[in-house]
Amino acid sequence: MVLQSSRIEILNDGGLRSDGRRQYELRDITIEFSLQGHSDASVTFQHGLTQVLVSVLGPHEARMRSQTAHDRAIINVEVNVAAFSTGERRRRTRGDKRLLELASTIKSTFEPVVQTHLYPRSQIDIFVHVIQQDGGLLPACINGATLALAAAGIPLSDFVCAITGGVHSTSPLLDLNTLEENDVPHVTVAMMPRTERVALVTMETRLRAENFEEIFKLAIDAGKVLYMEMKAALQRRTRALVVALGSGSKATTQATAFDVDEL
Protein backbone atom coordinates (compact mmCIF):
# COMPACT_ATOMS: atom_id res chain seq x y z
CA MET A 1 0.00 0.00 0.00
CA VAL A 2 1.29 3.44 -0.95
CA LEU A 3 0.60 6.26 1.49
CA GLN A 4 -0.04 9.68 0.00
CA SER A 5 1.71 12.65 1.56
CA SER A 6 -0.54 15.16 3.27
CA ARG A 7 1.93 18.01 2.78
CA ILE A 8 0.67 20.79 0.56
CA GLU A 9 2.60 22.38 -2.27
CA ILE A 10 4.04 25.48 -0.63
CA LEU A 11 5.67 26.84 -3.80
CA ASN A 12 4.89 25.69 -7.32
CA ASP A 13 7.27 25.69 -10.27
CA GLY A 14 6.26 29.26 -11.08
CA GLY A 15 7.25 30.50 -7.64
CA LEU A 16 3.65 31.02 -6.51
CA ARG A 17 2.19 29.97 -3.18
CA SER A 18 -1.07 28.12 -2.53
CA ASP A 19 -3.06 31.39 -2.45
CA GLY A 20 -1.38 32.82 -5.56
CA ARG A 21 1.08 35.14 -3.80
CA ARG A 22 4.80 35.32 -4.39
CA GLN A 23 7.37 34.67 -1.67
CA TYR A 24 7.58 38.18 -0.22
CA GLU A 25 4.05 39.34 -1.08
CA LEU A 26 1.82 40.41 1.82
CA ARG A 27 -1.88 39.75 1.99
CA ASP A 28 -4.40 42.59 1.66
CA ILE A 29 -5.02 44.68 4.77
CA THR A 30 -8.35 46.24 5.77
CA ILE A 31 -8.60 48.62 8.75
CA GLU A 32 -11.90 49.93 10.12
CA PHE A 33 -12.29 52.16 13.19
CA SER A 34 -15.44 52.07 15.31
CA LEU A 35 -16.79 52.22 18.86
CA GLN A 36 -17.93 49.02 20.55
CA GLY A 37 -19.89 49.17 23.79
CA HIS A 38 -18.14 51.26 26.43
CA SER A 39 -14.75 51.18 24.73
CA ASP A 40 -12.80 54.34 23.98
CA ALA A 41 -11.77 53.02 20.55
CA SER A 42 -12.15 49.86 18.51
CA VAL A 43 -10.42 48.62 15.38
CA THR A 44 -11.31 45.78 13.07
CA PHE A 45 -8.01 44.65 11.57
CA GLN A 46 -8.18 42.17 8.71
CA HIS A 47 -5.04 40.69 7.17
CA GLY A 48 -5.95 38.30 4.41
CA LEU A 49 -8.65 36.07 5.88
CA THR A 50 -7.51 36.65 9.46
CA GLN A 51 -9.75 39.16 11.20
CA VAL A 52 -9.66 40.52 14.75
CA LEU A 53 -11.63 43.18 16.59
CA VAL A 54 -9.53 45.05 19.17
CA SER A 55 -11.11 47.42 21.68
CA VAL A 56 -9.35 49.66 24.21
CA LEU A 57 -10.84 51.00 27.42
CA GLY A 58 -9.02 53.39 29.72
CA PRO A 59 -7.10 54.58 31.42
CA HIS A 60 -9.52 54.06 34.31
CA GLU A 61 -9.41 53.11 37.96
CA ALA A 62 -7.99 49.64 38.45
CA ARG A 63 -10.57 46.99 39.26
CA MET A 64 -8.46 45.37 41.98
CA ARG A 65 -6.42 47.41 44.43
CA SER A 66 -3.94 44.56 44.81
CA GLN A 67 -2.98 44.97 41.15
CA THR A 68 -2.61 48.75 41.29
CA ALA A 69 0.85 50.22 40.64
CA HIS A 70 1.48 53.54 42.35
CA ASP A 71 3.84 54.84 39.63
CA ARG A 72 2.25 53.59 36.42
CA ALA A 73 -0.81 52.15 34.75
CA ILE A 74 -1.20 48.40 34.45
CA ILE A 75 -2.14 46.84 31.11
CA ASN A 76 -4.81 44.17 31.07
CA VAL A 77 -5.24 42.04 27.94
CA GLU A 78 -8.12 39.64 27.35
CA VAL A 79 -8.46 37.46 24.25
CA ASN A 80 -11.66 35.79 23.11
CA VAL A 81 -11.96 33.52 20.08
CA ALA A 82 -15.23 33.04 18.21
CA ALA A 83 -16.18 29.36 17.92
CA PHE A 84 -16.64 29.77 14.16
CA SER A 85 -13.25 31.42 13.58
CA THR A 86 -11.54 28.16 12.58
CA GLY A 87 -12.51 24.90 10.95
CA GLU A 88 -11.87 22.86 14.09
CA ARG A 89 -15.02 24.19 15.80
CA ARG A 90 -13.35 23.99 19.18
CA ARG A 91 -14.71 26.34 21.79
CA ARG A 92 -11.98 28.10 23.72
CA THR A 93 -12.78 29.64 27.10
CA ARG A 94 -10.94 32.57 28.70
CA GLY A 95 -8.96 30.10 30.81
CA ASP A 96 -7.65 28.27 27.75
CA LYS A 97 -3.86 27.97 27.92
CA ARG A 98 -3.39 29.07 24.32
CA LEU A 99 -5.45 32.23 24.85
CA LEU A 100 -3.65 33.05 28.09
CA GLU A 101 -0.28 32.75 26.32
CA LEU A 102 -1.51 34.97 23.48
CA ALA A 103 -2.77 37.61 25.93
CA SER A 104 0.49 37.47 27.90
CA THR A 105 2.55 37.95 24.74
CA ILE A 106 0.49 40.96 23.67
CA LYS A 107 0.78 42.48 27.15
CA SER A 108 4.57 42.05 27.35
CA THR A 109 4.91 43.54 23.86
CA PHE A 110 3.09 46.77 24.73
CA GLU A 111 4.26 47.37 28.30
CA PRO A 112 7.51 49.03 27.13
CA VAL A 113 5.69 50.97 24.38
CA VAL A 114 2.70 52.44 26.20
CA GLN A 115 3.72 55.43 28.31
CA THR A 116 2.16 53.98 31.44
CA HIS A 117 4.02 56.39 33.75
CA LEU A 118 1.60 59.13 32.71
CA TYR A 119 -1.30 57.29 34.37
CA PRO A 120 -0.32 56.09 37.85
CA ARG A 121 -2.78 53.93 39.81
CA SER A 122 -4.87 53.20 36.74
CA GLN A 123 -5.61 50.43 34.27
CA ILE A 124 -5.71 50.17 30.47
CA ASP A 125 -7.75 47.32 29.01
CA ILE A 126 -7.10 45.74 25.62
CA PHE A 127 -9.87 43.38 24.51
CA VAL A 128 -9.15 41.17 21.49
CA HIS A 129 -11.96 39.27 19.78
CA VAL A 130 -10.77 36.83 17.10
CA ILE A 131 -13.40 36.65 14.38
CA GLN A 132 -11.57 34.61 11.75
CA GLN A 133 -8.22 32.83 11.57
CA ASP A 134 -6.04 32.03 8.59
CA GLY A 135 -2.48 32.44 9.85
CA GLY A 136 -0.70 35.43 11.33
CA LEU A 137 -3.02 35.67 14.34
CA LEU A 138 -0.47 37.16 16.75
CA PRO A 139 0.68 39.84 14.25
CA ALA A 140 -2.94 40.77 13.53
CA CYS A 141 -3.64 41.14 17.26
CA ILE A 142 -0.53 43.29 17.79
CA ASN A 143 -1.19 45.51 14.75
CA GLY A 144 -4.84 45.93 15.70
CA ALA A 145 -3.91 46.77 19.29
CA THR A 146 -1.44 49.42 18.12
CA LEU A 147 -4.14 51.17 16.12
CA ALA A 148 -6.77 50.83 18.85
CA LEU A 149 -4.43 52.30 21.49
CA ALA A 150 -3.52 55.21 19.21
CA ALA A 151 -7.17 55.83 18.34
CA ALA A 152 -8.05 55.85 22.06
CA GLY A 153 -5.49 58.58 22.64
CA ILE A 154 -3.11 56.41 24.68
CA PRO A 155 0.43 57.85 24.33
CA LEU A 156 2.80 55.43 22.61
CA SER A 157 6.55 55.78 22.15
CA ASP A 158 6.18 54.22 18.69
CA PHE A 159 3.99 52.06 16.50
CA VAL A 160 4.38 48.29 16.88
CA CYS A 161 4.16 46.46 13.54
CA ALA A 162 4.28 42.66 13.44
CA ILE A 163 4.60 40.03 10.71
CA THR A 164 5.36 36.32 10.44
CA GLY A 165 8.09 34.92 8.22
CA GLY A 166 9.15 31.36 7.45
CA VAL A 167 11.31 29.29 5.18
CA HIS A 168 10.33 26.46 2.87
CA SER A 169 13.41 24.42 1.95
CA THR A 170 15.70 27.35 1.09
CA SER A 171 12.94 29.77 0.06
CA PRO A 172 11.99 32.54 2.53
CA LEU A 173 8.28 33.38 2.84
CA LEU A 174 6.50 36.37 4.38
CA ASP A 175 3.04 36.63 5.93
CA LEU A 176 2.18 32.95 6.25
CA ASN A 177 -1.37 31.61 6.10
CA THR A 178 -2.58 28.67 8.18
CA LEU A 179 -1.54 25.97 5.72
CA GLU A 180 1.96 27.43 5.53
CA GLU A 181 2.28 27.89 9.30
CA ASN A 182 1.39 24.23 9.80
CA ASP A 183 4.01 23.11 7.29
CA VAL A 184 7.10 25.34 7.53
CA PRO A 185 9.32 26.68 10.35
CA HIS A 186 8.42 30.30 11.09
CA VAL A 187 9.10 33.26 13.36
CA THR A 188 6.99 36.28 14.37
CA VAL A 189 8.75 39.64 14.59
CA ALA A 190 7.28 42.87 16.00
CA MET A 191 9.28 46.00 15.28
CA MET A 192 9.04 49.71 16.08
CA PRO A 193 9.73 51.64 12.85
CA ARG A 194 10.52 55.09 14.24
CA THR A 195 12.95 54.01 16.94
CA GLU A 196 14.15 51.03 14.87
CA ARG A 197 13.86 48.70 17.84
CA VAL A 198 12.51 45.17 18.06
CA ALA A 199 9.56 44.67 20.41
CA LEU A 200 9.11 40.92 20.02
CA VAL A 201 10.67 37.86 18.44
CA THR A 202 8.91 34.56 19.04
CA MET A 203 9.20 31.10 17.52
CA GLU A 204 7.03 28.05 18.10
CA THR A 205 8.93 25.91 15.62
CA ARG A 206 12.58 25.21 14.99
CA LEU A 207 14.33 27.43 12.46
CA ARG A 208 17.87 26.90 11.24
CA ALA A 209 20.30 29.55 12.42
CA GLU A 210 21.49 30.27 8.88
CA ASN A 211 17.89 31.05 7.82
CA PHE A 212 17.00 33.23 10.79
CA GLU A 213 18.98 36.35 9.78
CA GLU A 214 17.43 36.49 6.31
CA ILE A 215 13.90 35.99 7.62
CA PHE A 216 14.48 38.57 10.34
CA LYS A 217 15.64 41.22 7.86
CA LEU A 218 12.69 40.52 5.57
CA ALA A 219 10.29 40.83 8.51
CA ILE A 220 11.79 44.19 9.48
CA ASP A 221 11.32 45.48 5.92
CA ALA A 222 7.75 44.17 5.88
CA GLY A 223 7.09 45.91 9.20
CA LYS A 224 8.00 49.23 7.61
CA VAL A 225 5.46 48.58 4.85
CA LEU A 226 2.81 47.77 7.44
CA TYR A 227 3.70 50.95 9.31
CA MET A 228 2.92 53.08 6.26
CA GLU A 229 -0.46 51.37 5.83
CA MET A 230 -1.35 51.68 9.52
CA LYS A 231 -0.23 55.31 9.79
CA ALA A 232 -2.20 56.25 6.67
CA ALA A 233 -5.34 54.62 8.10
CA LEU A 234 -4.93 56.50 11.38
CA GLN A 235 -4.41 59.78 9.53
CA ARG A 236 -7.60 59.23 7.51
CA ARG A 237 -9.55 58.56 10.69
CA THR A 238 -8.13 61.65 12.39
CA ARG A 239 -8.97 63.89 9.44
CA ALA A 240 -12.50 62.47 9.32
CA LEU A 241 -12.97 63.25 13.02
CA VAL A 242 -11.76 66.81 12.54
CA VAL A 243 -14.20 67.35 9.70
CA ALA A 244 -17.03 65.73 11.69
CA LEU A 245 -16.39 68.13 14.56
CA GLY A 246 -16.83 71.05 12.18
CA SER A 247 -13.22 72.16 12.46
CA GLY A 248 -11.94 70.80 9.21
CA SER A 249 -9.87 73.79 8.23
CA LYS A 250 -6.73 73.19 6.24
CA ALA A 251 -4.47 74.32 9.07
CA THR A 252 -6.19 72.08 11.64
CA THR A 253 -6.11 69.06 9.35
CA GLN A 254 -2.42 69.57 8.61
CA ALA A 255 -1.64 69.90 12.32
CA THR A 256 -3.52 66.70 13.07
CA ALA A 257 -1.62 64.82 10.37
CA PHE A 258 1.64 66.12 11.80
CA ASP A 259 0.72 64.75 15.25
CA VAL A 260 0.17 61.30 13.77
CA ASP A 261 3.48 61.51 11.91
CA GLU A 262 5.24 62.12 15.20
CA LEU A 263 4.36 58.63 16.42
Closest CA to 23 of 175, 138, 228, 213: 175
Closest CA to 142 of 52, 72, 37: 52
The full DSSP string for 77-127 is EEEEE-TTSSTT-----TT-HHHHHHHHHHHHHHTTTB-GGGSTTEEEEEE
Residue 148 is predicted with a pLDDT of: 97
Closest CA to 185 of 6, 3, 10, 50: 10
Asked if residue 155 lies in contact with residue 118, where contact means CB atoms within 8 angstroms, the answer is yes
Asked if residue 158 lies in contact with residue 197, where contact means CB atoms within 8 angstroms, the answer is yes
Cβ-proximal residues to 183 (8 Å cutoff; 6+ apart), any chain: 7, 8, 10, 168
For the chain of 263 residues, list the mean pLDDT of each consecutive stretch of 10: 51 86 95 90 96 96 81 95 72 75 97 95 96 96 98 96 92 94 93 94 86 94 97 94 72 44 57
Alpha-carbon torsion angle 155, 156, 161, 162, nearest 10? -100
Whether the pTM exceeds 0.75: the reply is yes
Residue 2 is predicted with a pLDDT of: 36
Cβ-proximal residues to 169 (8 Å cutoff; 6+ apart), any chain: none
Asked if residue 146 lies in contact with residue 41, where contact means CB atoms within 8 angstroms, the answer is no
Residue 7 is predicted with a pLDDT of: 57
CATH number of 29-65+72-261: 3.30.230.70
